[in-house]
Structure 1
């Protein structure tokens, strides 16, 4: 691939990751409304089951085409993400949503640390500055008081698992395997969430009983679930983990944007300042001079 082709592919991957992050952000006000009627783990189980079923219908042979090694890696990545979802959900029962959002966003810091340790990736000073700026922006955007307890602790574990998922995708995903890996990850996430719903529920999995709720759930399953996982898996085959994490830190910015645009919330100074800080961090990373692709994305040999 020529340098121009590599730059074009890298830009497309960054845009795909940004679009995926925007789709995640668009679901916050929908989830807030839906969870008044459906338990969280039940919602997650149904969401990822619908996403996995749709992906299998579209590409029924994609998983079979994966090598046994790639399947094992996809199983590990799906398990990391699924357990993180459960821990983040459990943490929400013991900590304010704003604090949960900030702690979860600490994967922006954990990702370059894990990448440096596991992949031996060298992180330059300007990238670290962008990481710290994004983290500070998340704090301004989301925090309104902070305390440390059980909920915060398990949410931090979830953030570390999300970081491990990002690093793992950066190391293991390839463009040719992206579809099969995405499907297998979604199915593993669905299985973990379904097991949690069956264990914690007293009457099985609770399903939405309103047409509007099903419309919201299908959107979150197909767009912010199936398509988002495919976009992330493909994009991270072309982007280094730290760059991916900083782009993904735009999620609460998009969440605030859609809450104002569609949810009727008012713009606040904290929204504006925090969002601008995160956006600046992303633009700094995107403007950094790029080394050769092999220096940016290191794949594990095992």
Structure 2
């Protein structure tokens, strides 16, 4: 495909992923009033896993042993992040959850710098302060963060690790296999979480439609697109592209969900988004090589 600008196409692809993810917050918030967190996630990713296996059965078999190990590690990380984020969503609004989840864009360069022992520049610290302030405006109740925000913040850190790993290990050739095996591992992680209370399924047709949409569009397809796109982008640039997720989440939650637009959402969201873009715009050159692409 000569003449194709893969980085630009990858950014556009990640924006579509962000839109798909953003659309799930208010749907999930509603669904969790009738389903357990782990049950919902296990079912969602089981459907996604089956779909990927049916589309391209040999994909996992073609992975090297090293790639399989990496996919398992990525899947465990992502699965735990999903459990934390979704449980956190039960205790906070869809809009706040979307913005707090977006903190992974700040964690990505910071964790990349720590893991690779790179010096953190002053602009990165400015971004951290901005994001922390925005998080406080969005989420602080009195002098402490709420339970839901803390769980979601922990998930954001795990998502950052997933972005770093995916950026280092994904290639155009292994994208489908890596996505398929990750999805199976994510399903297993969520299924383990569902074991103590037993397993339940949606009770209405509308709930099934929501689960299937989130499994196929915001699950299977989104992970394939993300894995392919990150083969062409640095982790920080990928994270920046995906920061549109909280913007989409808030938009969908206000337009189609039960959330109301508040000054806290506007001010806090603006600060968090400013921090997200500052990470990319100010220290771009310093973080361009934050994670070497290790896949062979």
Q: Which residue of 1 aligns with 2:81?
A: 84
> Which residue of structure 2 lines up, in the alignment, with residue 188 of structure 1?
185
Query: Alpha-carbon deviation of 1:210?
Result: 0.5
CA distance in 2, matches of 1:90, 1:39: 9
Superposition pairs of residues 3-42 of structure 1, within 5 angstroms: 8-42=5-39
Partner residue of 2:249? 255
Question: Any residues of structure 2 matched to 1:146-157 within 5 Å, and which?
Answer: 147=144, 156-157=153-154
Displacement after TM superposition at 1:12 (Å): 1.5
Preserved contact between residue 238 and residue 297 of structure 1 (Cα < 8 Å): no
Q: Which consecutive unaligned segments of at least 5 residues does structure 2 have?
A: none
Match of 2:229 in 1: 235
1:269 counterpart = 2:263: yes
Q: TM-score, normalised by structure 1?
A: 0.82
- d(CA) in 2 for partners of 1:149, 1:143: 7
Tell me by how many angstroms 1:168 deviates.
Answer: 0.6
Q: Distance in 2 between matches of 1:239 and 1:123?
A: 20
Shift in Å at residue 110 of structure 1? 2.4
After TM superposition, give the deviation of residue 240 of structure 1 in Å.
1.5
- Contact 1:130 1:285 survives alignment (8 Å): yes
Query: What does residue 46 of structure 1 align with?
Result: 43
How much does 1:156 deviate? 4.7
Given candidates 216, 228, 251, the residue that maps to 1:222 is: 216
Tell me what 1:200 maps to: 197
What is the match of residue 171 of structure 2? 174
Alignment partner of 1:206: what SS?
A: coil
Q: Deviations over 1:118-171 (max 9, x none)?
A: 345676555664565455445545555552587766655433322211111111
The Cα RMSD (Å) is 3.4
SS at match of 1:164: helix
Q: Which runs of 5+ in 1 are unaligned?
A: none
| CA displacement at 1:35 relative to structure 2 | 1.1
Q: 1:174 is paired with a residue of what secondary structure?
A: coil
Q: Normalising to structure 2: TM-score of the pair? A: 0.83
Matched pairs, number: 295
Q: Conserved in 2, the CA contact under 8 Å of 1:119 and 1:171?
A: no
Residue 299 of structure 1: which of 264, 281, 293 is its match?
Answer: 293
Q: 1:85 to 1:295 in 2, by over 3 A?
A: closer
